[in-house]
């Protein structure tokens, strides 16, 4: 994690890691520390997926409940505290997104296709993820970025990119296979 | 053990959130039983994590923290697993599991069995206190898989906390390392995860910071007398308080 660490300074990583460990002992102020440091970015991550601020805040609320309840399952020695938190908020956002009873298609904001390059170009130039994604064919790269950053499903990708479902699935698989080789 | 390509891509699709609900739920369960798959998932999560910092911050409304705080009061931190290495937190987590199992409000259904088993063992363990305890943890998933208890009279036992999946023709082998020059010594061989006494009679008395690990080996045990398969869980002993 050389490239990635440039965007999450070790001091912040350590602070979050320590706060999660304190949450595991039931210390409420530790959850507040995480909230102060990360909640705005968490809402931002959820907002890219849900595109509605109220739902993005709901996903963040659910994520904090989850962090609080499962803090004990976090192992500080692995040193991926922020990745742990963001995996949780992303999953909560995806759960809301995929819940059709909560978030029907008619509710979806019908905006233009989000630009996959905008997230990609915000990655540090030294980022291995950025360099490896840029080596992929455009279609494969866009499908993977839209899936991770904006929570697109196979079906949504097919609709938005105007390609058959089978093509999308194979773009993703082949793109991931190349990515894996590139990132090692 | 190298996971095959399809499995790695499956892990990546799981991380991207591209699996349908049923397949996603199956993969999620697999995280707790298949350490190799869990490791693959962790690797992909790290790969993609760089994207999280590219989101524009959106400052939440003032009442978000109040809502979190209110709901937090109703939800004590519940342990699905114990953290590695810290005995006190193990005891806390066993306590939390006990409360969770009794109240039925906190523990997820999937962990209920583990909780019940753990509670029973917690009571047994409390009745005859070990001198050293090691919590064996899966490196990738951070999940505690087993506890090793060493007693004053030299007895050592291993208690699994999860149902480790053992493929046909394979076995779980337990090792301990108290001296790097001598190397790991086999102290137990099991066809499936179950509480078992470990055979340390011919070894020096268990000490602080002694490594225990469980590997997946061919049925009948490692052919070389040394661990050859993947390490499922490992941890070192800590003196009890």
Options 2.60.40, 2.60.120, 3.40.1620, 1.10.3470; CATH for B131-239 is: 2.60.40
Which residues of chain B lie closer than 8 angstroms to A122, CB-CB? Answer: 54
Does A136 reside within a domain? yes
Nearest to A98 among B5, B21, B75 (CB): B21
Q: Are A32 and B78 in contact (CB under 8 A)?
A: no
Does A21 reside within a domain? yes
Across the range A69-90, mean pLDDT stands at 87
A62 plus A149 within the same structural domain: no
Higher pLDDT, B136 or A38: A38
A38 plus A86 within the same structural domain: yes
Q: Which of A62, A80, A105 is the last residue of a domain?
A: A105
Q: Which pLDDT score, from 0 to 100, does residue B122 have?
A: 53
* Residue B73 to residue B70: CA distance in whole angstroms: 6
How many beta-carbon pairs below 8 A join chains A and B? 174
A10 plus A76 within the same structural domain: yes
CA-to-CA separations, B171 to B11, B62, B160, B227, B234, in angstroms, rounded: 25, 55, 14, 12, 16
- Tokens standing for B68? 């979190």
A47 plus A97 within the same structural domain: yes
Q: Which pLDDT score, from 0 to 100, does residue B49 have?
A: 93
Minimum mean pLDDT range among A100-114, A166-180, B87-101, B189-203: B87-101
Collapse the DSSP code of B238 into the 3-class scheme (helix H, G, I; strand E, B; otherwise coil) and give the result: strand
DSSP characters over A117-143: HHHHHHS-TT-HHHHHHHTS-HHHHHH
Across the range B21-37, mean pLDDT stands at 90
How far does the CA of residue A164 sit from the closest CA of chain B (Å)? 16
Q: Are B156 and B200 in contact (CB under 8 A)?
A: yes
What residue in A sits closest to B53 (Cα-Cα)? A7
CA-to-CA separations, B190 to B97, B114, B174, B219, B221, in angstroms, rounded: 26, 19, 8, 9, 9
Is the pLDDT score of B235 beyond 80? yes
Residue range(s) defining the domain that contains residue A57: 2-105
Higher pLDDT, B200 or B47: B47
Does A67 reside within a domain? yes
A93 plus A124 within the same structural domain: no
Question: Bridge partners of B179?
Answer: none
A6 plus A61 within the same structural domain: yes
- Tokens standing for A131? 């360099």
Structural domain count, chain A:
2
* Residue B110 to residue A73: CA distance in whole angstroms: 15
Is the pLDDT score of A57 beyond 90? yes
Collapse the DSSP code of B217 into the 3-class scheme (helix H, G, I; strand E, B; otherwise coil) and give the result: strand
CB contact under 8 Å between B17 and A91, yes or no, is yes
A6 plus A93 within the same structural domain: yes
* Residue A95 to residue A61: CA distance in whole angstroms: 13
What residue in B sits closest to A38 (Cα-Cα)? B57
Q: Which pLDDT score, from 0 to 100, does residue B153 have?
A: 78
Is the pLDDT score of A1 beyond 80? no
Higher pLDDT, B123 or A97: A97
Residue A59 is inside which H or E element, if any? Answer: helix A53-70
How far does the CA of residue A53 sit from the closest CA of chain B (Å)? 9
Collapse the DSSP code of B194 into the 3-class scheme (helix H, G, I; strand E, B; otherwise coil) and give the result: coil
Is the pLDDT score of A144 beyond 80? yes
* Residue B166 to residue A183: CA distance in whole angstroms: 31
Which residues of chain A lie closer than 8 angstroms to B142, CB-CB? Answer: 73-75, 78
Neighbours of B118 (CB within 10 A): 26
A84 plus A141 within the same structural domain: no
Does A10 reside within a domain? yes
pLDDT digits (tens, 9 = 90+) for B181-208: 788 888 888 888 877 888 887 777 888 8
Does A110 reside within a domain? no
A99 plus A119 within the same structural domain: no
Q: Are A13 and B54 in contact (CB under 8 A)?
A: no
* Residue B180 to residue B162: CA distance in whole angstroms: 29
ipTM of the complex: 0.90
A119 plus A100 within the same structural domain: no
Collapse the DSSP code of B75 into the 3-class scheme (helix H, G, I; strand E, B; otherwise coil) and give the result: coil
pLDDT digits (tens, 9 = 90+) for B131-168: 888 888 888 777 778 888 887 777 888 877 777 778 88
Q: Which of A105, A138, A171 is the last residue of a domain?
A: A105
Q: Which pLDDT score, from 0 to 100, does residue B120 have?
A: 52
Which runs of E-coded beta strand occur in B108-207? 132-137, 144-150, 156-160, 170-177, 185-190, 196-198
CB contact under 8 Å between A176 and B13, yes or no, is yes
Indicate which CATH number applies to the domain containing A143. 1.10.10.10
Rg (chain B; Cα; Å): 20
Closest by CA to B77, choosing from B52, B63, B54, B97, is: B97
Is the pLDDT score of B239 beyond 80? yes
Q: Note if the pTM is more than 0.80.
A: no
Is the pLDDT score of A153 beyond 50? yes
How far does the CA of residue B226 sit from the closest CA of chain A (Å)? 26
The residue assigned the tokens 């524009």 is: B56
Indicate which CATH number applies to the domain containing A34. 1.10.1740.10
A79 plus A34 within the same structural domain: yes
In chain B, the largest separation of any two C-alpha atoms, in whole Å, equals: 64
The residue assigned the tokens 């953290």 is: B83
CB contact under 8 Å between A129 and B48, yes or no, is yes
How far does the CA of residue A93 sit from the closest CA of chain B (Å)? 10
CA-to-CA separations, B205 to A144, A163, B151, B155, B238, in angstroms, rounded: 54, 66, 10, 9, 14
* Residue B157 to residue A89: CA distance in whole angstroms: 39
Minimum mean pLDDT range among A60-64, A170-174, B136-140: B136-140
Q: Which pLDDT score, from 0 to 100, does residue A39 have?
A: 97
Is the pLDDT score of A5 beyond 60? no
Which residues of chain B lie closer than 8 angstroms to A25, CB-CB? Answer: 77, 89, 92
- Tokens standing for B63? 């009442």
Higher pLDDT, A85 or B187: A85
Share the mean pLDDT of chain A.
Answer: 88
Dihedral in degrees, nearest 10, Cα atoms B7, A173, A120, B11: -20
A45 plus A131 within the same structural domain: no
Neighbours of A20 (CB within 10 A): 25
CB contact under 8 Å between A72 and B84, yes or no, is no
Nearest to B142 among A68, A78, A127 (CB): A78
Across the range A86-93, mean pLDDT stands at 96
Give the mutation candidate from A35, A170, A176, A184 for the B interface (greatest B CB count, under 10 A).
Answer: A176
CB contact under 8 Å between A94 and B65, yes or no, is no
Is the pLDDT score of B85 beyond 50? no
Nearest to A60 among B48, B64, B76 (CB): B64
How far does the CA of residue A123 sit from the closest CA of chain B (Å)? 6
CB contact under 8 Å between A4 and B89, yes or no, is no
């Amino acid at each position: 994690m050389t490239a990635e660490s440039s965007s999450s300074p070790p001091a912040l990583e350590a602070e979050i890691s320590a706060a999660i460990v304190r949450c595991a002992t039931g210390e409420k102020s530790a959850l507040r520390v995480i909230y102060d440091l990360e909640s705005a970015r968490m809402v931002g991550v959820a907002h890219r997926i849900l595109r509605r601020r109220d739902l993005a805040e709901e996903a963040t609320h659910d994520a904090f409940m989850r962090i609080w309840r499962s803090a004990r399952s976090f192992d500080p020695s692995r040193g991926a505290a922020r990745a742990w938190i963001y995996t949780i908020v992303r999953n909560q956002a995806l759960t809301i997104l995929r819940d059709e009873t909560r978030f029907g298609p008619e509710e979806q904001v019908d905006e233009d296709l989000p630009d996959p390059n905008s997230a990609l170009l915000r990655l540090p130039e030294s980022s291995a993820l950025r360099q490896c994604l840029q080596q992929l064919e455009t279609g494969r790269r866009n499908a993977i970025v839209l899936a991770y950053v904006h929570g697109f499903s196979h079906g949504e990708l097919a609709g938005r990119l105007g390609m058959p479902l089978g093509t999308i699935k194979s773009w993703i698989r082949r793109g991931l296979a190349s990515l894996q080789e590139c990132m090692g | 053990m190298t996971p095959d390509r399809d499995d790695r891509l499956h892990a990546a699709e799981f991380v991207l959130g591209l699996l349908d609900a049923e397949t996603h739920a199956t993969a999620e369960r697999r995280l707790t039983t298949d350490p190799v798959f869990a490791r693959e998932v962790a690797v992909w999560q790290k790969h993609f994590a760089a994207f999280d910092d590219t989101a524009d911050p959106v400052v939440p409304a003032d009442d978000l923290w109040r809502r979190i705080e209110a709901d937090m009061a109703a939800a004590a931190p519940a342990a699905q697993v114990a953290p590695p290495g810290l005995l006190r937190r193990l005891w806390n987590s066993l306590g939390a599991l006990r409360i969770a199992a009794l109240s039925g409000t906190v523990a997820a259904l999937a962990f209920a069995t583990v909780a019940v088993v753990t509670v029973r063992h917690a009571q047994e363990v409390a009745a005859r206190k070990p001198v050293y305890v090691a919590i064996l943890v899966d490196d990738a998933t951070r999940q505690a898989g087993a506890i090793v208890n060493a007693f004053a009279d030299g007895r050592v036992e291993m208690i699994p906390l999860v149902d480790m999946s053992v493929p046909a023709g394979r076995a779980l082998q337990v090792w301990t390392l108290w001296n790097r020059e001598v190397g790991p010594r086999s102290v137990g061989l099991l066809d499936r995860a179950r509480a078992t006494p470990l055979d340390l009679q011919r070894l020096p008395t268990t000490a602080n910071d002694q490594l225990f690990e469980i590997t997946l080996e061919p049925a009948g045990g490692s052919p070389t007398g040394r661990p050859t398969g993947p390490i499922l869980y490992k941890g070192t002993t800590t003196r009890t308080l």
